[in-house]
Amino acid sequence: IPTEKREAKLASSYDFNYFLISSSYKKENPVVPMRLSVEKDVVNLVLTASMGVIALTRNLHQYSGDDSASAKKLQSIYGDMWETYKGPIRTVWLARNDLFEKIFSPSTNNAFLIRALSNSGLEEFNTTKIGMTFNNDLKEWSYNRKFMSKAIMSPNFIKQVVEGTQDIFEVMEKCWQSLWENLGNDQIFDIHNWILLATSESIILLTTHKRAYSIIDYYNNLLPTKKFDTPIGALEESENYIASIRTYIRAMEFFFTTPKIIRILPGVRRYAQNLIKNRDLLIFPSAPTTFRTSTKPVEIGGYIFPENLQFFIYIEGANNHPQHWTDPDTFNPDRFLDDSNKVINTFGGGLRMCPGRNLSIIEILSFIVMLYRKYDIELVDMNAPIKYNFNIIRQCVKMEARIIPRKFE
Ligand code: HEM
């Protein structure tokens, strides 16, 4: 089908059905829209009215809040390209590396230099002209990005990352030691929280040059009878500060996705105001995201798409694609020895690629070396699914494990 006809077909296929996905993208068995007529019967009337609301909100009622889980399910049904509507907002989802090529191209002529079009929520949260992630002022964004990249790529900075991680790790070990001595060797640790505090402390140390000591705060709450002192000069209320960074990320998602009509509802309004109050507590933190907006008409996967269209890049779906890797869901680090030149888009790509990628890799590597050099980690339940939240980024919320000091002969 010529591309312009495909586009026309795509547009019309949404007009009268409320189904999750356009049948145009479905691989087989196209969806047949169900039609309801208004009858006198009250039950039917209510049903029809609900269908009307659903037709208007389209996929909104199906949105669980977890983009990654929805994407996984949708990819298994519809293949590597599909689209959804949250109310009037059309989003095209892409889940294979070759479909990202134009979006991740490093050219300055790239039609995807903007992550998301400005909307009233992002305006209210004041994030479209400052910072980086949602900054649509490309001059300002480029300046911020160069400044940050230069700062965090310098050898001196990298040295500070490794040394800082080491210091923080030693504080954590001291706390573990005391917990073992006072509560027994079989202690179960929420390993996710310790790691979250350690990495957050590291970022705080690098950005503010102040030690946060949120690990000690956390330990003091776990074992109030054997408290450690927080050293002088530490950032006060560091646990709150870290919680505030997480709230900030949640807020970005809230203001990006919640329509004004919902934001002005009494309870929701209060919530929104609290998120803004939280924003004002902070320096500007970063939030990794995986979506872009077209600023010109563009062809992807054989379809022509208009400008100002939201694209959601499902990186995980592409990274775990069976066409790309053999047994993609098997944990097999050796695969990188054979296929070391394969594309992995974990940090995005092109000019808006994650500027914190080297810092993260260095930090994760340092942390893993320090941990496994001396300890084994044993999950309490190897088969339990990972508990996580999704708001723009996916954050683990709990991971129970025993930390076992390794025995050396
Ligand atoms: C394992 C850790 C991390 C992962 C997996 C990650 C991933 C990502 C991804 C996928 C994007 C979107 C890129 C795109 O659209 O092409 C992104 C953007 C971004 N990341 Fe990260 N990131 C991580 C850590 C960090 C750290 C530590 C920082 C800050 C020091 C950071 C700062 C940013 C910023 C500022 C952006 C927006 C860039 C822009 O719009 O120009 N990230 N990240």
- Judge if the beta carbon of residue 352 lies within 6 A of ligand 1: yes
Buried b (16+ CB within 10 A) or exposed e, 143-178: ebbeebeeebeeeeeeeebeebbeebbebbbebbeb
Tell which one of 354, 361, 392, 393 to mutate to probe ligand 1, the residue whose CB is within 8 A of the most ligand atoms. Answer: 354
Task: State the distance from the centre of ligand 1 to the C-alpha of 352, rounded, in angstroms.
Answer: 9
Alpha-carbon distance of 330 to 350, in angstroms, equals 28
- Mean pLDDT within 290-318: 92
Residue owning the nearest CA to atom 25 of ligand 1: 356
For the cut 60, the answer to whether the pLDDT of residue 4 exceeds it is no
pLDDT in tens, 307-361: 999 999 988 888 888 988 888 888 888 888 876 677 888 889 999 999 988 888 8
Residue 392 near residue 249, CB atoms below 8 Å:
yes
Residue 354, annotated ligand binder?
yes
Alpha-carbon distance of 177 to 231, in angstroms, equals 19
Task: State the distance from the centre of ligand 1 to the C-alpha of 287, rounded, in angstroms.
Answer: 6
pLDDT in tens, 30-44: 333 334 444 455 666
Per the model's pLDDT, the better-predicted residue between 120 and 403 turns out to be: 403
Residue 73 near residue 95, CB atoms below 8 Å:
no
Residue 70 near residue 64, CB atoms below 8 Å:
yes
Residue 47 near residue 36, CB atoms below 8 Å:
yes
In this structure, what is the dihedral angle of CA atoms 367, 369, 373, 378, given to the nearest 10 degrees?
60
Nearest of 298, 304, 302 to residue 104 by alpha carbon:
298
Alpha-carbon distance of 195 to 214, in angstroms, equals 11
For the cut 70, the answer to whether the pLDDT of residue 29 exceeds it is no
Task: With a threshold of 0.90, tell me whether the complex ipTM lies above it.
Answer: yes
Cβ neighbour number for residue 7 with a 10 Å cutoff:
17
Task: State the distance from the centre of ligand 1 to the C-alpha of 182, rounded, in angstroms.
Answer: 40
Cβ neighbour number for residue 285 with a 10 Å cutoff:
18
Global pTM value: 0.76
Residue 152 near residue 356, CB atoms below 8 Å:
yes
